Structure formats: C-alpha cells, structure tokens
C-alpha cells in the first residue's frame, strides 16, 4: 500500500466497502514495462479495470487498448483513445458488434474459428486479423486455457484462408494464463508461433505481430519473480526462436498494471463460532464474491490482508462475504489466519485488489450495492 | 414456457440477452403454496428476484418478505409492504443497518451467534428474534450448509440469553438448502426444532414460530416431486414431532415462486471446434456466468434449453458465456447436447430462469451490460 493510499484511508472514514486506486502506481508499472520491453506495443486489457480515470491516464502515457466488447471500445473512445490504438481482442463477437467497431474505425481483430473469420470478412473487410492459438501452459493462478484459441494446424488454415476472404493476415496471439508465476511458460508458445510464421511465409504470407497476451502477475500472497525476469525470459525466447528477424510484439497486461495499485477497505460484519467445539472462527466481511472478490472462486487468488492488529497473536479463520449465499465464502482451505483481537466493526484492508474486482460486482445481489471506486 | 411468454417472444425481436418474467406464474405458485399449507406464513425471499413488479404483486397477494439486507428492506417498503410484513432474515447485519431497520419499523430478526445477538439487543431492543440452527442435509442442488446457523446447544443458550438481553425469543429457523429435491429432508431438522422448543419451554420460554426456510425446487433438468408431496412431508413431520401443539410456521420460498416464471432469451454468438479432431462443438452464448447464469457455478443448476431445431439430430456441446474469462463456461461435464443445425445468430431460450439470475449480473464485466428484465 502506498503512502498516498494510507493517507487517503486515514483522511476520512468512508462507508465500506470500497476500492481505492493509486494512479501513480499504474503509471509506474506502465513505464517499467515499457522500459523493459521498449519495442513491444502495450495494449491495456481494459476488462481488468475500465475506470475512466485509469483509461485516461493510459491514453496520456501512450498505451494502446485490448477491448473485450463493443462496450469497452466505446469506453476507450470516450476518453479520446484513437481507434488505431484499439484491438478488438475478444474472439467472441456478434456480427453487429463487429460492424459497429469497424464503423468506429477499429481495424485490428482477434479470432480463433471459421465462424468468427467469416463474420469479420463480411463486417470488417480488409481488417488486420490475429489468430489466437490454443496452448497448454502451467503455473497460472487463473487459467485461460481451453475456452479460447484453436489448434496449430487449424490456425495455419485459418490465417491462410483469411487472405482469400479479403482480410489481412496480421499475426498470432496466445495467452499463458492470468497471474502466470512461471516466466518460462512463454517459451514454448513463442516456438509454436515462430513455426507458424515460417510455414505461412512459405505460402507468401508475412505475418507482422506476435501477441504475447497478458499473464504478468500481481503481488498476492505468494512471492513472484520480478518484471526483469519476465522480460528477460521473453526476450531470450524471441531471440532463440526468431533469430535476427523478430516480429512486432504486442503485450496485453491488465492485472500487472492495475492490481497492485488497488486496496479494498472492508468492515468486519460478524465474527462467530458455529459450535462450542469449533476451533475456527468465521469472519464475515462486507465485501465478498458478489461485490468485488469474485477471483476468490475456488480460492484461486489469495489476497494479502492487513488488520489493525498485525503482529499480534493469530488464529485460523474461515473468511466469508456478506450475502446469504453459501458460495460467498472467500477462503476456507487456504490457511488464512487473522489476529485473535479482531472485532466486529473493525476495518481491514485487502491489498492488490485493483484488477478484476469491482467490475465483477453484481448489480445488487442480496440488495447490496456494487463496490465503489475512488481513483486518487 | 407459458403462452403469454411465447407470444411476448414472438411479438418483437428485442436485443438479447434478456429475462422475461410471467407474473401470472408467480401468482399461481404463491396461491398453490398458500392452499397447500394454509396456516403457514409465507415470507418471499426477496433476493431471488427483487424486481419491483414482483414485489408489488406479492404485496397485493398478502405475502410477507424475507429481506437479506437493509437494501432489500427499503425495496419492500418502496412498494408499500408494511414493516410488520418484513423479516430481516440475514444473520449478517451491520449495527447501523439493524438500527436503520428498527427505525423503519422492522421488529423480526434472525441471528446465529453471540455477536449478532448483542448487536440486536443494542440496536433493536425488544424485537422478536429467531435463532438459525445449523443442520446437515442432503440432496440440495445449491447447498446452504456451513455458512449459516449454529449448533443445537449454542442455539439453546443464545435463545435463553436473548431474553436476558431484553429481546423476545421468538423462534427457530433452519434451511434445508436451495433446490432441495428430497421432501423428507425437513423431517430431522423439525425434530431438532421440537426438542429445542420443549427444552426452552422448561425454562419458561415459549417460542412461537418455526421458520422452515426455503428449498422448494424449480423445474430444471431433473424431475422433481410435486408441491403436494412437499406439503404432505412437512405436515407429517410437524404432527409427528409437535403433536397437537404445532408452532406457527414460516416459509421463505424464493426460487419456488419465481424461477419457473422466467425465461432468458439468448443469441448464439459463436460456434467453434478447437481442433480438427475435436468431437465437441463449443457453443458461445451472449449470456453467461457474469450476466445472469451464476448458478451454473460448478454446473450446479442445470437449466432446460430450447432451440428452434428441437427434435432434430443433436451433438455434444460445451456451453460457454461471452466474456474473456475461462471461468465463464456454463456446462462442460453435464452432458448437454444441442441440435447439429444450430447456427451463429440463432436465438435459444433458457427456461426457469426467473430466480437468482439477473441480480447476480455484474455491473459491466468485459463491458457487457447487466441482464435486462421484462415483467409481463
């Protein structure tokens, strides 16, 4: 947590729960990434946190944008991003959304199937298209495998076919999974991409870009390698597989840029034991799966938590959210311990919650309003 | 699907996805339940679907309301429910929300721990309180065990103590789990409640109500017993355990009243195979976990699906939602099959989706707006 955030939290008692985002941290992360991989074009994954103030900052810094929907494209344009800065990166697009994006000036699209390619040829003629490759990776805390991408030989056929359809075969995309803690996971996919580049070159198709997706991690409970280690691993893999003729690289960081910039402040609603023999306390917060902490699903993302009593004696807890839904349990098996002196009404801080939190908030499940956000 | 809904869907092509709710079905379900268990007081679980038109209808029919939060209490009052009709049924309540509810005239509260009881004694003095019992049940498709309730001996102590704290020990609540497909699951908890009534009577405390919670099912894929079977099983259990002196019964149906009244219409965004050897199609809809179908989590709730080609040859599918999140897969292991002739752009209907759907919608994850609702 930065000093700026600490001062904000001290300055006045705002109604919990809320998310506070330090824009300076986002700028710093962006500039770090830009410095480490200066030739790469950075496309911010808007879905991680689409707050207008964040998008505006990134426009100012010269970022590009990876949009998951026509809604996100409009959000980017609303803060004066130019259409050339936007990639319509979702492989799931309705025909009318493609038509609308094309009309708005977006000319770069991802796809991973015959059906999507046909829609693009009709509604976005002449556009640049990137095929998403289905890859198998490990070590991602929030895996993205299976749902997106297609097999290597199908990707080859699709890219070849795209030219026939009047589109510009532009590149290959993949994603090693979100919160990827192993920097070597980019190596094998880059190898696959290089093979695809070379096989297509033999057919007269010169692909331009390799989209390495997102995956750079945030600082949750477990230690993560530094940005330098990731940049180094990626550079090495590119040199190894592409030699002297590397492609233009696209990056789609989301979590990496915004997660560590955010802190959720929450109030302890209740503390209970279920029986006299229970050795665990249940600690119920006013934030849960359905108003910000969806990524605790299956206890995937393990946030760091600060309390007013850190350093004092702790005991095991089950941490749960405020709704009447039993799915709204945050951590039960992850081994969380909290101070024994924690009391109902205390405030706690949940760190690195700037990404994939408030946008998952339900509109009002259990009559509980969505998580509020303050950008400072 | 009722004729009224079919006509609504035919009358004009509204932008998908949306939920249409037939209010007549809700009225019919309410009257059926009222007829089968005429002495029971029905508290609608507002969280299942808090649309004002639904609440207004239920006020007109004489229902009471089970509110999960101060927000839901305000929603009920906004449609002219009287405070005496409202039970603040969540066992997780902030002190200031209790104070606000009390000020608004709500005098019936649930609790399950010492901490909650103390808050109630301070902020809702003299109110009627029901203790929620932790019970173990089976056969619920959406289990509610573990998170709520306390053990029997603790419930006894808490109810005894509530009188000392100036509250009115009023009753005992339990919940057999949502979408409970086995009507005999109420029997043992009713037995436990009867024992609690009798042990507290020996201490001079005459509890008034037994709150049987919700659990009555909706018509998803698997067959379910009729309402009559549930009513019969419950009546029998009450007679058996309470004899000639049955308590006032409270019911908290949510899903049962509204689920079957709703239909979600969705468009097929994409159909794809991931590789040439794939024997399954992926069918991507414009509705998914984060804009209405959260209860497909772990493939718990299996909705019935209608397509324009029902009756023709089918093939296995993985059904997935529209977001870039791999958690947004609806059914992969549940064995769904859809017509081979299904095409991109087709509309399909997802049945019995009137409960626990649009309120779970995210505010805008992936730039996708929340599910629209039409009550007819």
List the domain boundaries for chain B: 50-253, 259-375
A312 pLDDT band, cuts 50/70/90, is very high
**A interface test, pick of B65, B66, B92, B110 with most A CB neighbours within 10 Å:** B92
Q: Do A147 and B113 touch (CB under 8 A)?
A: no
Q: Do B360 and A361 touch (CB under 8 A)?
A: no
- Euclidean distance between CA atoms B187 and B194, whole angstroms: 11
Q: Do A363 and B368 touch (CB under 8 A)?
A: no
pLDDT at residue A279, rounded to an integer: 85
Please report residues of B whose CB lies closer than 8 A to that of A90. Answer: 322, 324, 366
Q: Do A324 and B134 touch (CB under 8 A)?
A: no
Q: Do B270 and A113 touch (CB under 8 A)?
A: yes
Q: Do A115 and B320 touch (CB under 8 A)?
A: no
Residue A142 has pLDDT above 70, yes or no: no
Instruction: Please state the φ and ψ torsions of residue A44, each to the nearest 5 degrees.
Output: -70, 130
What DSSP assignment string belongs to A57-122?
HHHHHT-EEEESSHHHHHHHHHTT--GGGEEE--S---HHHHHHHHHTT--EEEE-SHHHHHHHHH
Query: Is A314 buried (19+), middle (13-18) or exposed (0-12) by CB count in 10 A?
Result: middle
Q: Closest CB to A290: pick one of B146, B276, B360.
A: B360
A146 pLDDT band, cuts 50/70/90, is confident
The shortest C-alpha distance from A363 to chain B (Å) reads 5
- At B71, is the secondary structure helix, strand, or coil? helix
pLDDT at residue A89, rounded to an integer: 98
The shortest C-alpha distance from A246 to chain B (Å) reads 28
Please report residues of A whose CB lies closer than 8 A to that of B273. Answer: 113, 150, 154
- Euclidean distance between CA atoms A249 and A233, whole angstroms: 14
The tens-digit pLDDT sequence of chain B (376 residues) is 899 999 999 998 899 999 999 999 999 999 999 999 999 999 999 999 999 999 999 999 999 999 999 999 999 999 999 999 999 999 999 999 999 999 999 999 999 999 999 999 999 999 999 999 998 877 777 665 689 999 999 999 999 999 999 999 999 999 998 899 999 999 999 999 999 999 999 999 999 999 999 999 999 999 999 999 999 999 999 999 999 999 999 999 999 999 999 999 999 999 999 999 988 899 999 999 999 999 999 999 999 999 999 999 999 999 999 999 999 999 999 999 999 999 999 999 999 999 999 999 999 999 999 999 999 9
Given A76, A130, A150, A324, the catalytic residue: A324
**Listed range (A166-175, A271-280, A343-352) with the worst mean pLDDT:** A271-280
CATH of region B259-375:
2.40.37.10
Residue A137 has pLDDT above 90, yes or no: no
Task: Print the SS3 string covering B339-363.
Answer: ECCCCCCCEEEEECCCCCCHHHCEC
pLDDT at residue A145, rounded to an integer: 62
- Euclidean distance between CA atoms A214 and A325, whole angstroms: 32
A138 pLDDT band, cuts 50/70/90, is confident
- Euclidean distance between CA atoms A186 and A290, whole angstroms: 33
- Euclidean distance between CA atoms B117 and B17, whole angstroms: 43
Note the Cα B120 to chain centre separation in Å: 25
Q: Between the CA atoms of A309, A310, A315 and A319, what dihedral angle is there, to the nearest 10 degrees?
A: 90
- Which residue of B lies nearest to A346 if distances are taken between CA atoms? B94
Q: Do A148 and B67 touch (CB under 8 A)?
A: no
- Euclidean distance between CA atoms A287 and A369, whole angstroms: 10
Please report residues of B whose CB lies closer than 8 A to that of A323. Answer: 47, 68
What DSSP assignment string belongs to A21-68?
E-HHHHHHHHHHHHHHSTTSEEEEEGGG---HHHHHHHHHHT-EEEES
Q: Which residues of B are catalytic?
A: 324
Q: Closest CB to B68: pick one of A282, A297, A367.
A: A367
Please report residues of B whose CB lies closer than 8 A to that of A284. Answer: 92
Please report residues of B whose CB lies closer than 8 A to that of A320. Answer: 147
H and E: helices and strands count for chain B: 10, 19
Tokens 């038509």 identify what position? A99
Q: Do A275 and B153 touch (CB under 8 A)?
A: yes
The shortest C-alpha distance from A322 to chain B (Å) reads 6
The interface predicted TM-score (ipTM) is 0.96
The shortest C-alpha distance from A361 to chain B (Å) reads 5
pLDDT at residue A144, rounded to an integer: 55
HSE (CB half, 13 Å, CA atoms) of B297?
20
Mean pLDDT of chain A: 96
State pLDDT tens for residues A165-224.
Answer: 999 999 999 999 889 999 999 999 999 999 999 999 999 999 999 999 999 999 999 999
Q: Do A69 and B367 touch (CB under 8 A)?
A: yes
Q: Closest CB to A362: pick one of B92, B95, B361.
A: B361
Token pair, residue A354, equals 């700037």
Q: Do B47 and A366 touch (CB under 8 A)?
A: yes
Q: Do B360 and A364 touch (CB under 8 A)?
A: no
- Euclidean distance between CA atoms A71 and A79, whole angstroms: 13
Q: Closest CB to A269: pick one of B94, B284, B360.
A: B94
Q: Closest CB to A154: pick one of B275, B361, B364.
A: B275
CATH of region A50-253:
3.20.20.10
Q: What share of chain A is helix, strand, coil (3-state, %, to 5)?
A: 35, 25, 40
Please report residues of A whose CB lies closer than 8 A to that of B366. Answer: 47, 68-69, 71-72, 90, 359
Please report residues of A whose CB lies closer than 8 A to that of B363. Answer: 358-359, 361-363, 370
HSE (CB half, 13 Å, CA atoms) of B215?
28
pTM: 0.97
Q: Closest CB to B345: pick one of A95, A270, A276.
A: A95
Quick check: is A324 catalytic? yes
């Amino acid at each position: 947590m930065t000093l700026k955030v600490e001062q904000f939290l001290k300055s006045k008692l705002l109604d919990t729960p809320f998310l506070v985002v330090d824009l300076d941290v986002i700028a710093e992360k962006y500039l770090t990434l830009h410095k480490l991989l200066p030739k790469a074009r950075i496309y911010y994954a808007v879905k991680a946190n689409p707050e207008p103030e964040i998008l505006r900052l990134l426009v100012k810094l010269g970022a590009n944008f990876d949009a998951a929907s026509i809604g996100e494209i409009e959000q980017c344009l609303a803060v004066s991003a130019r259409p050339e800065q936007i990639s319509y990166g979702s492989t799931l697009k309705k025909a009318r959304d493609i038509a609308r994006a094309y009309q708005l000036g977006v000319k770069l699209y991802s796809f991973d199937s015959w059906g999507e390619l046909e829609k693009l040829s009709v509604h976005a003629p002449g556009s640049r298209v990137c095929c998403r490759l289905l890859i198998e990776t490990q070590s991602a805390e929030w895996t993205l495998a299976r749902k997106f991408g297609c097999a290597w030989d199908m990707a080859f056929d699709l890219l070849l076919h795209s030219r026939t359809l009047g589109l510009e075969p532009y590149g290959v995309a993949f994603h090693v999974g979100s919160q990827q803690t192993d920097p070597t996971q980019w190596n094998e996919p880059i190898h696959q991409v290089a093979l695809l580049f070379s096989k297509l070159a033999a057919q007269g198709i010169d692909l331009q870009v390799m989209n390495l997706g997102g995956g750079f991690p945030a600082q949750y409970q477990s230690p993560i390698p530094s940005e330098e280690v990731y940049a180094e691993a990626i550079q090495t893999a590119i040199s190894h597989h592409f030699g002297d003729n590397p492609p233009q690289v696209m990056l789609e960081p989301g979590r990496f840029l915004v997660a560590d910039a955010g802190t959720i402040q929450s109030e302890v609603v209740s503390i209970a034991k279920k029986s006299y023999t229970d050795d665990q306390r249940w600690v119920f917060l006013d934030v849960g799966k359905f108003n910000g902490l969806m990524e605790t699903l299956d206890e995937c993302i393990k946030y760091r938590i600060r309390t007013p009593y850190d350093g004092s004696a702790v005991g095991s807890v089950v941490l749960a959210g405020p709704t009447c839904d039993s799915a709204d349990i945050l951590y039960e098996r992850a081994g969380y311990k909290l101070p024994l002196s924690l009391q109902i009404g205390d405030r706690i801080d949940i760190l690195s919650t700037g990404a994939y939190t408030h946008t998952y908030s339900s509109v009002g499940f259990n009559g509980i309003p969505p998580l509020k956000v303050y950008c400072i």
